[in-house]
A and B are shown apart, each in its own frame.
Chain A
């Protein structure tokens, strides 16, 4: 008898990561969680369609300005971090709760491959859900502006990139939370709605320590702030924001991988 093996070495990183990614997408995308998140992300489409069908008389904002509000406030400020929390914090804990992590841990692949595969599956899943909603929202709200649909096309591309970076950074932070804590959801919500919700609008340097301040700085056509909000809201340059968000994302990912690689997972029946 000989075992039908390829070699007695851990499989190379990328082929193994790709195999984990393919399995994880198939498990992540068709879940009820994805369906409900997609419905939430589709709300602006319904909102835009309603505005198009029943335009309120004397609306002071153009479709493009409305789209800017939706992107800045609905997607980047609120919903995408929440989506990242729901999916990112569950990356490994879902596999632990469903007791299927053992199938990955007892294969000749490194834990780095497992984590990267899961994280890439998260990115593919959330972008698959988000990108169509943003594009359709743009089409619905901006296509009817006097300038035509093409007016905001470069902004749309930039907005999609901002959404992707927001999902990457928050996803990495919540993945770190997910591998560090048994119940990451409540701390994650506290982080989003207490820290990110309030501190980003404090005067002085406090917003420097929030992610949302950098994420909202990526949206160049955000609505103008007025009153106290204008006074307190701090904005950064695009380059600086990309650097900070990218750095926080990469460091969080590295820490999450380090913890995941060393931790024991006791899966009991």
Chain B
């Protein structure tokens, strides 16, 4: 399938400040996480992706057309930006209908789509109230509603869960996952890593304007050979297990925690390590083993600390 979002050696600078540097990637259907610390270039990347900025160098394509200066692609693209801006005097329903009218929907169709999407984001009870009186979480959800209302193929969501209560975070996370499963392309920028982890394992890690890593979270983690992975083991005979494991060439460190009786190993080549543990599992009575740092938070920390 043709990728829907394509960055080819795209760079963007503001005067002497480099916001994005030689970025290349392609996005097809599915949910992708865009991760990076403040100032990493996430917002610039999203603005380039949805045609608000021109690349200073390289190209950015959206649905096969240059992202900047191709308004026609917005029939099939939705954006939920991170700015807390709405038409304050409009009701939630009017707000979504008004933006649907800009997409070319007639009033009856716009009303139907608006009602549908407002129900999806659980704002039906407040849809006829002015958005100026909405709580932070409600404002976030009505922003999301306007991005989803016309059922776009490509969605850019910038910090979509900000200000939401846990119940709605779960609801919107599930919605993002569902949209990805339906074949839409969803690029989610967030710093709430554990929530993103529940939605997708495909991530773009960005720092100092460069994409540090791209792909499946596990694959990215495997790229980080110089960063050892932490594995915790519980065994009937931890000392015997430790004696065997220290012989492995890719073991960085091994700690026996006296209090819990757990072994904490830092390893470089997890596959070889796991295979050896498997061999020793009966002899040493390995009861449990889990990787302690294979979540986005730790991958992200490793990468940006370099």
Partner-B contacts on A (CB < 8 A): 1-11, 15-16, 19-20, 22-23, 26-27, 30, 98-100, 102-111, 264-269
- Given A4-B150, A15-B104, A30-B89: A267 in contact with B83 (beta carbons within 8 A): yes
- Given A16-B102, A19-B102, A264-B53: A3 in contact with B90 (beta carbons within 8 A): no
Residues of A within 8 A of B52 (CB): 102, 105-106, 264-267
Expressed in whole angstroms, the Cα–Cα distance for A100 and B143 within the complex equals: 11
Expressed in whole angstroms, the Cα–Cα distance for A20 and B183 within the complex equals: 31
Smallest distance from the beta carbon of A95 to chain B beta carbons, Å?
9
- Given A5-B76, A6-B75, A267-B81: A103 in contact with B89 (beta carbons within 8 A): no
Q: Which of B179-222 contact A (CB under 8 A)?
A: 182-184
- B258 on interface, CB distance cutoff 8 Å: no
Expressed in whole angstroms, the Cα–Cα distance for A2 and B76 within the complex equals: 9
Expressed in whole angstroms, the Cα–Cα distance for A5 and B72 within the complex equals: 11
Please pick, from A4, A30, A267, the residue contacting B113 in the complex, using a CB distance under 8 A: A4
- B47 on interface, CB distance cutoff 8 Å: yes
Q: Which of B73-101 contact A (CB under 8 A)?
A: 73-79, 81-87, 89-90, 98-99, 101
Expressed in whole angstroms, the Cα–Cα distance for A34 and B84 within the complex equals: 24
- The tally of residues in B whose CB lies under 8 Å from a CB in A reads 43
Residues of A within 8 A of B73 (CB): 8, 108
* Interface CB pairs A-B, < 8 A, 23: A3-B76, A3-B151, A3-B152, A3-B153, A4-B151, A6-B103, A19-B101, A22-B98, A27-B87, A99-B85, A100-B87, A102-B79, A103-B85, A105-B52, A107-B74, A108-B103, A109-B102, A265-B52, A266-B14, A267-B81, A269-B43, A269-B83, A269-B84
Residues of B within 8 A of A2 (CB): 151
Smallest distance from the beta carbon of B203 to chain A beta carbons, Å?
22
Report whether B71 and A1 are in contact in the complex, using a CB–CB cutoff of 8 Å: no
Chain B residue with minimal CB distance to A105?
B52
Smallest distance from the beta carbon of B288 to chain A beta carbons, Å?
41
Given A22-B98, A108-B74, A109-B71; 10 other pairs, CB 8 A cutoff: A3-B153, A5-B103, A10-B72, A20-B102, A99-B83, A99-B85, A100-B87, A106-B74, A107-B103, A269-B81
Expressed in whole angstroms, the Cα–Cα distance for A170 and B99 within the complex equals: 30
Expressed in whole angstroms, the Cα–Cα distance for A23 and B110 within the complex equals: 14
Smallest distance from the beta carbon of A114 to chain B beta carbons, Å?
9
Residues of A within 8 A of B89 (CB): 26-27, 30
Q: Which of B220-253 contact A (CB under 8 A)?
A: none
6 closest residue pairs by CB, A with B: A99-B85, A107-B102, A5-B75, A1-B182, A99-B83, A4-B151
- B50 on interface, CB distance cutoff 8 Å: yes
Report whether B72 and A8 are in contact in the complex, using a CB–CB cutoff of 8 Å: yes
Report whether B76 and A8 are in contact in the complex, using a CB–CB cutoff of 8 Å: yes
Main secondary structure of the interface of A (DSSP, over half): loop
Chain A residue with minimal CB distance to B47?
A266
Residues of B within 8 A of A1 (CB): 151, 153, 182-184
Chain A residue with minimal CB distance to B29?
A1
Smallest distance from the beta carbon of B128 to chain A beta carbons, Å?
16
Residues of A within 8 A of B103 (CB): 5-6, 107-108
- Given A1-B182, A266-B53, A269-B82: A11 in contact with B151 (beta carbons within 8 A): no
Residues of A within 8 A of B59 (CB): none
Report whether B75 and A3 are in contact in the complex, using a CB–CB cutoff of 8 Å: yes
Please pick, from A26, A99, A106, A268, the residue contacting B79 in the complex, using a CB distance under 8 A: A106
Report whether A3 and B87 are in contact in the complex, using a CB–CB cutoff of 8 Å: no
Report whether B83 and A103 are in contact in the complex, using a CB–CB cutoff of 8 Å: no
- B173 on interface, CB distance cutoff 8 Å: no
